[in-house]
Amino acid sequence: MGKAISCIAHDMKTPLMAIGGFIQQVKRKIADDKLARKLDFTFEQVQRLEVLVGDMLAFAKPLTLQYQQGMINHLLEEIVMISGEKAARHGVTIRTELQENMPVAEYDKNRLHQALLNLVNNAVEASPKGSEVIMRNQHLGTDIIVEVADSGSGIPKDLFDDIFTPFVTTKKEGTGLGLPIAKKIIDAHGGAIHVIDNSDKGVTFRITVPVKPQGHL
């Protein structure tokens, strides 16, 4: 499956980039406003496909982690900042409950960022207006735990076992690659990802990653 996805995505990448480039060139020469708007729309669709191709490649390509030392609280604050605009559009607030004195950890910053961002995006997308998404963390033994909790719609029972399977989505504009990519990244760190049904409302995604990669302890 990974190989098929990778081949398709790879073959889509070059023509898409060419189409995007040509649209921009043509747009510069067009004076008609109506046509220009149509070209803008076409360009947006091409950009959506480019994001999709990027996700497909991220899922299918083998993952080599670039470990570096980092403070997990900084990473979480960065994610809150980046997600702020999307959350505001949904009328959702992202709140952090961060433990002080978290240890300096070793992880692939960009990848972990991507995994957590996918979880926060899902939480925001599932959240009703006026609600909160909470990001919290904890240091437990040799692990770091990060939770993303929402009080949204929750995950339908019949979908619970399939959400980490590629292309499983309930969203009109979803691809169903956010969680498989997150899982792949967390697994590569020697960690784990779980989803917990909140007793009141919504779900909590919990990731566990070792403070230091296995073998470095």
- Footprint on this chain of Mg ion (rule: CB under 5 A): 122, 178
Q: Which does 155 bind (CB under 5 to 8 A by kind): ligand ATP, Mg ion, none?
A: ligand ATP
81-110: contacts with ligand ATP (CB under 6 A): none
Scanning the chain, the segments in alpha helix (DSSP H) are: 2-28, 33-60, 72-89, 109-126, 178-188
Q: Phi, psi at residue 97, to the nearest 5°?
A: -125, 85
Estimate the crossing angle of helix 109-126 against helix 72-89, to 10 degrees.
30
- Helix (H), strand (E) at residue 196: strand 192-197
207 binds ligand ATP (CB under 6 A): no
Residues 6 or more apart whose CB falls under 8 angstroms from that of 212 comprise: 105, 106, 142
Least separation in angstroms between CB 47 and Mg ion = 18
Of 56, 115, 123, 144, which one interacts with ligand ATP (CB under 6 A)?
123
**Paired sense of beta strands 93-97 and 192-197, if any:** unpaired
Rounded Cα distance between 168 and 165, Å, is 6
Least separation in angstroms between CB 129 and Mg ion = 19
Q: Which is nearer to ligand ATP, 107 or 205 (CB)?
A: 205
132-191: contacts with ligand ATP (CB under 6 A): 150, 152-155, 159, 163, 168-171, 174-180
Q: Which does 151 bind (CB under 5 to 8 A by kind): ligand ATP, Mg ion, none?
A: none
Cα 17 to Cα 45, 46, 49, 122, distances in angstroms: 12, 8, 10, 28
Q: Which does 93 bind (CB under 5 to 8 A by kind): Mg ion, ligand ATP, none?
A: none
Q: Which does 210 bind (CB under 5 to 8 A by kind): ligand ATP, Mg ion, none?
A: none
Q: Which is nearer to ligand ATP, 122 or 137 (CB)?
A: 122
Q: Which is nearer to Mg ion, 47 or 142 (CB)?
A: 47
122 binds ligand ATP (CB under 6 A): yes
Q: Which is nearer to ligand ATP, 46 or 179 (CB)?
A: 179
Least separation in angstroms between CB 36 and ligand ATP = 29
3-state helix, strand, coil in the chain (%, to 5): 50, 20, 35
# chain residues binding ligand ATP, by CB under 6 A: 23
Rounded Cα distance between 190 and 206, Å, is 14
Q: Which residues partner with 107 through β-bridges?
A: 68
Rounded Cα distance between 148 and 134, Å, is 6
Interface residue list for ligand ATP (CB under 6 A): 118, 122-123, 126, 150, 152-155, 159, 163, 168-171, 174-180, 203
